[in-house]
Structure 1
Amino acid sequence: MTDLIERVRAGRGDGEAMVEAFRATVVLVPLAPDGGLSAADAGGIRWVFAFTSPAELAAWTLARGGDGDAEQPYLTTLGRRLLTVAPVGVALDVAGGQPMLLPPMRGIVPDELALDA
């Protein structure tokens, strides 16, 4: 997954292939204190945080001022599930070296959830 992201970020990759790979990837989604998914609002979009590895999740926890060694509750799911449950974007590995935003737009989420439909 990270190699596909790197190529897309460099302008040499296939965005559709990267989104398809994300859909098939198991990701870690941190839980908020209220038990919901950790998310933030930016640019009028709700962004759910997702991570491709425990190390990426720990980097995010540290970047937020937390203890990288402390347990961060999370759920494990396929990327596909995040893209099909609500009109939200996914902020992937946002504290890592290859962050990627997957906005809730056609070609990424189902058309009925897409903001540009």
Structure 2
Amino acid sequence: MFSILYLNAITEEPPIRKMFTEFRNLYNELANCVPAVTFKSGRHGFLHRARVAREQEDVVAFRGIRNELIDYWKAYMDSRLGKLLESDMYPSHEWKDASPTRSQPPFGQAAQSPVLLDPFLHV
């Protein structure tokens, strides 16, 4: 019994490996949108530091690097959304819906959006 438990413990991958895989996936997606994320290279790069934390199973350091990447992503999105919203130069009264009889959108669909969002979509 002990040997079976011991073998299972040895063969199971540490959770930080899955964390690293998801980190790398987000990093690659971000790098496609924002190539500047790759400008940090060598031991200062996101992937290198995340790999080192993974190899040392240093969850605290890994989470710090992950949060740094998330902050980078948020800063990028804030910048892009800011540009999008700043481009709207029309007074707000010109785009309000003139029809008060408009029905509520179906579940999962944003107001006035033709796109139906899938709440179970996992990218």
- Give TM-score, length-normalised by structure 2: 0.19
The structure with the greater share of residues assigned to strand is 1
Larger RCO (CA under 8 A, 6+ residues apart): 1
Larger Rg: 2
- Give TM-score, length-normalised by structure 1: 0.19
